[in-house]
Amino acid sequence: MASHQSPSITQNLAWLYRGVSEIFPNLTDSQNRHENLVERLAQTNRPLRVKLGIDPTGADLHLGHSIPVRKLRAFQDAGHTAVLIIGDFTARIGDPTGKSEVRQQLTPAQVAQNAQTYLEQVRPILDFDTPGRLEIRYNSEWLSKLDLAKIMDLLSTMTVGQMLAKEGFALRYEKESPIYLHEFLYPLMQGYDSVAIEADVELGGTDQKFNIAVGRDLQRYFGLSPQFGMLMPILIGTDGVQKMSKSLGNYVGLREDALTMYQKLRQTPDILVEQYFELLTNIPLDTLPENPRDRQILLALDIVTQYHGKEAAEKAKEDAEKIARGKTEQAEALPEFSLENIQFPAKLFYIVSASKLCKSSSEARQKIQEGGVRLDGEKVTDVNLSFDSPASLQGRVLQVGKNKFVRLVNPN
Amino acid sequence: MASHQSPSITQNLAWLYRGVSEIFPNLTDSQNRHENLVERLAQTNRPLRVKLGIDPTGADLHLGHSIPVRKLRAFQDAGHTAVLIIGDFTARIGDPTGKSEVRQQLTPAQVAQNAQTYLEQVRPILDFDTPGRLEIRYNSEWLSKLDLAKIMDLLSTMTVGQMLAKEGFALRYEKESPIYLHEFLYPLMQGYDSVAIEADVELGGTDQKFNIAVGRDLQRYFGLSPQFGMLMPILIGTDGVQKMSKSLGNYVGLREDALTMYQKLRQTPDILVEQYFELLTNIPLDTLPENPRDRQILLALDIVTQYHGKEAAEKAKEDAEKIARGKTEQAEALPEFSLENIQFPAKLFYIVSASKLCKSSSEARQKIQEGGVRLDGEKVTDVNLSFDSPASLQGRVLQVGKNKFVRLVNPN
């Protein structure tokens, strides 16, 4: 992509290109047009405004979501301004047809709560402290003020044909699935966000190209210099097959405890390790260890450090090694399960289920029968094993299979 | 249409059905649904609200435009409320793409002026005086207050497929002519007018069925009882071939003087006479004279009476008869042309052209050479005939061919 740049510029801009699928537009001198992000960076004497829009749906974020946020941080570190846009307006109006699960209508309180949850999760990634490096904006600030005349203006910038060419719409139109007219407004609202905050760059997944291009058109229409789009890959999950997603279970959540995170990343499939390094760490790719096991450990340590700090990451590594040697009960930083809501006397299979180590009591009973449940490393054999009080379980480690375990704690 | 009604109801409702192409919906008891305008009229104990929307484009209206206005008057006379909606909002925002000639952006002052012009022209048709019979509303009253959330609501009531099925859009989409997204808003704005004024009936030409149906959908969406649509034919012009239109020259303008109106209508093609009676007069069709000439005279007299009163109509008839006998100069109510802006000495061909009897000076010279120009009934033969002062032309009749004439007046 940067082959026409001098080596020194390319080296200085390694942070810019790392893990990027596409930057557009990328016009070179040969066409005598200069719409090129590297030139913009070289020529500007002010911080660029780099936009990332987020839906305040309150979801748990995972490493896939972290990719554009990490790029945003890279821009911050290069002296630019991150503009996080919280799509509270869209969340509040929802989808009037009620057909879409993702566009549920939320109350202002829910939106505020969800935005808070989101910000807490990205706090380890972004620079919240350096003055001028972060703006958090809610798009109701400008969208709630649009009147019909302005909306006519927005709509007039696009044709039905252009909109129906958008991936998603094209297929539905062909299949004669109904496309409701208001759905055409979503890309325009996202695009108008770029107008309102005067974005220089917008970040997104490769599935966002159309919407970011709409932003460019609207900025031009309103007399602004159009933004650049920077697209990043959609992350493959820890199964090595499908895109990372909570519902598929192949995810690493940003709020997971250090040990869980470490254990998952320590087992990253070999084919994904290099891409994970590129997208999820800042480690130069030409310094990676040769040995696949060492790579997995370095990857896990680096990412856990980002979210939990160096000490917690080292402890997770040690704990993981104890667990691998069958000494789970000696691990120090196991996730905890509080017994406070368990009624005693209690059967062990019930506690296994309540702690989410199994999905149901019947699965828990089956696991015990199969010899897959351990208490402090000792295999449990009695399906009807029962405890009279929480005191006798305090501090003990309950484990299902190789990778699922909790330390039981009694808060009373 | 009313075959299932008893004869007496049908007779009482002759005013309702006269000149109507379609009333919809028109569900009968057999389906056990009762959405039927005649039932609504019979059951309601309040005046219905009958909507007619107009574009304040400032055009000269002609008899074609008068058809739904006359139906509105019929509803007034039956005790209902005419709601004239002046589309000032649409006129003020215009067409943002600037592609359409009809959607030119107008200033508030122009809109007010055009609305005034429109109301003056329909004043002879409507009942402006009886309390409660006429509401004049400007749609900016509600459209300017719509915000994005409400507009999303409006748009969500329709699919892209439904909108593209609309005549006009379907053809353009097929031909791959661009359809701009904001064009989808026009039917919805017209429909929302019906919501805002809580219309029971909307009147329009047969080309308005889609838009009126959108109004029904929106009323239902907002929890109102949906309006009935009443569609009337598009009037054929005096050429007997094409739809009446100023640009085609086959029109009778509502502001034309009594004699011009009379002369045009006196020559209505036989095939149109009965339809003109039905659509443009209240005369019972079974009382029309047998003789075609008598019918034309009755038609012309009745319509001129509507716009200029009985006396002016009688005088127009007398004048027309004088003109027919070659005694144009004896006619009393000829249209006048003021000489105040003519520079004397002046050639006659120039005055012929300035008075619009011919389209250009060269056409005027040619008409004189052909012997087609008369002054007080005397054929003019000298192409270079010239007059030194307006005094010598005061009160004289200038005529081109059989039907074009003015009385010259000198205001000084």
Answer yes or no: are the C-beta atoms of B136 and B123 closer than 8 Å: no
pLDDT for residue B132 is more than 70? yes
Tell me which residues of chain B have a C-beta less than 8 Å from any C-beta of chain A: 89, 92-93, 95-97, 143-144, 146-149, 151-161, 163-164, 173, 176, 178-182, 184-185, 189
For a pLDDT cut of 70, what percent of chain B falls above it?
93
Please state, in angstroms and rounded to a whole number, the distance separating the CA atoms of residues B336 and B355.
Answer: 9
For a pLDDT cut of 90, what percent of chain A falls above it?
69
Six-digit token string for B62: 């002609």
B169-186 average pLDDT score: 89
| Residues of B with Cβ-Cβ distance to A164 under 8 angstroms | 160
Q: What burial class does residue A131 get, using C-beta atoms within 10 Å of its C-beta: 0-12 exposed, 13-18 middle, 19+ buried?
A: exposed
**Distance between A147 CA and the closest CA of chain B, angstroms:** 5
Please state, in angstroms and rounded to a whole number, the distance separating the CA atoms of residues B340 and B346.
Answer: 12
Please state, in angstroms and rounded to a whole number, the distance separating the CA atoms of residues B293 and B270.
Answer: 9
Q: What are phi and psi of A411, to 5 degrees?
A: -70, -15
Please state, in angstroms and rounded to a whole number, the distance separating the CA atoms of residues A13 and A2.
Answer: 10
Cβ separation of B181 and A180 shorter than 8 Å?
A: no
* Pairing between β-strand A228-232 and β-strand A22-24 as defined by DSSP bridges: antiparallel
| Residues of B with Cβ-Cβ distance to A143 under 8 angstroms | 148
What pLDDT score does A8 carry?
46
In this structure, what DSSP letter does residue A332 have? S
HSE-CB of A6 using CA atoms within 13 angstroms: 4
Using DSSP, state whether A344 is helix, strand or coil. Answer: coil
B35-54 average pLDDT score: 89
Low-confidence winner among A8-22, A114-128, B180-194, B286-300 (lowest mean pLDDT): A8-22
Please choose, from the candidates A183, A209, A86, the residue with its C-alpha nearest in 3D space to the C-alpha of residue A143.
A86
Cβ separation of B176 and A161 shorter than 8 Å?
A: yes
Cβ separation of B152 and A185 shorter than 8 Å?
A: yes
Tens of pLDDT, residues B47-103: 999 999 998 877 789 999 999 999 999 999 999 999 999 999 988 776 776 666 556
**Distance between A148 CA and the closest CA of chain B, angstroms:** 6
Hunting for tokens 């879409």 — which residue is that? Answer: A100
Please choose, from the candidates B272, B194, B192, the residue with its C-alpha nearest in 3D space to the C-alpha of residue B234.
B272
Q: Average pLDDT over chain B, rounded to whole?
A: 90
Tens of pLDDT, residues A241-282: 999 998 888 999 999 999 999 999 999 999 999 999 999 999
Please state, in angstroms and rounded to a whole number, the distance separating the CA atoms of residues B348 and B342.
Answer: 11
Six-digit token string for B28: 């009968």
What pLDDT score does B314 carry?
97
B141-169 average pLDDT score: 91
Domain B256-330 is in which class?
mainly alpha
Answer yes or no: are the C-beta atoms of A344 and A294 closer than 8 Å: no
What pLDDT score does B326 carry?
80
Q: What burial class does residue B182 get, using C-beta atoms within 10 Å of its C-beta: 0-12 exposed, 13-18 middle, 19+ buried?
A: buried
> B164 to chain A: nearest residue by CA?
A160
Tell me which residues of chain A have a C-beta less than 8 Å from any C-beta of chain B: 89, 92-93, 95-97, 143-144, 146-149, 151-161, 163-164, 173, 176, 178-182, 184-185, 189
Low-confidence winner among A180-194, B148-162, B323-337 (lowest mean pLDDT): B323-337
pLDDT for residue B15 is more than 80? yes
pLDDT for residue B229 is more than 80? yes
Cβ-based neighbours of B17, under 8 Å, separated by 6 or more: B1, B2, B10
pLDDT for residue B145 is more than 60? yes
A327-340 average pLDDT score: 87
Q: Any idea which fold B336-409 has?
A: 3.10.290
Q: Average pLDDT over chain A, rounded to whole?
A: 90
Q: What is the CATH number that goes with domain B7-232?
A: 3.40.50.620
pLDDT category, B5, cuts 50, 70, 90? very low
User: What is A256-327's CATH number, 1.10.240.10, 2.50.20.10, 1.10.1740.10, 3.40.50.720?
Assistant: 1.10.240.10
Q: Which of A147, A163, A179 sits opposite B159 (nearest CB)?
A: A179
What pLDDT score does B6 carry?
44
Tens of pLDDT, residues A125-167: 999 999 999 999 999 999 999 999 999 999 999 999 999 988 7
What pLDDT score does B4 carry?
45
pLDDT category, A311, cuts 50, 70, 90? very high
Answer yes or no: are the C-beta atoms of B21 and B233 closer than 8 Å: yes
pLDDT category, B30, cuts 50, 70, 90? low
Distances (CA, A) of A80 to A120, A397, B359: 22, 47, 68
Interface contacts (A, B; CB < 8 Å): 111
Among A88, A100, A160, A173, the residue to mutate for chain B (most B Cβ within 10 A): A160
Please state, in angstroms and rounded to a whole number, the distance separating the CA atoms of residues B253 and B276.
Answer: 14
Task: Please state the ipTM of this predicted complex.
Answer: 0.78
What pLDDT score does A193 carry?
97
What pLDDT score does B100 carry?
60
pLDDT category, A5, cuts 50, 70, 90? very low
More confident residue, A216 or B36: A216
pLDDT category, A181, cuts 50, 70, 90? very high
What are the residue boundaries of the structural domains of chain A, listed by start?
A: 7-232, 256-327, 336-409
pLDDT for residue A64 is more than 80? yes
Q: How many helices (H) and strands (E) does chain B have?
A: 18, 13
pLDDT for residue A94 is more than 60? yes
Cβ separation of B148 and A89 shorter than 8 Å?
A: yes
pLDDT for residue B398 is more than 60? yes
- Residue count (chain B): 412
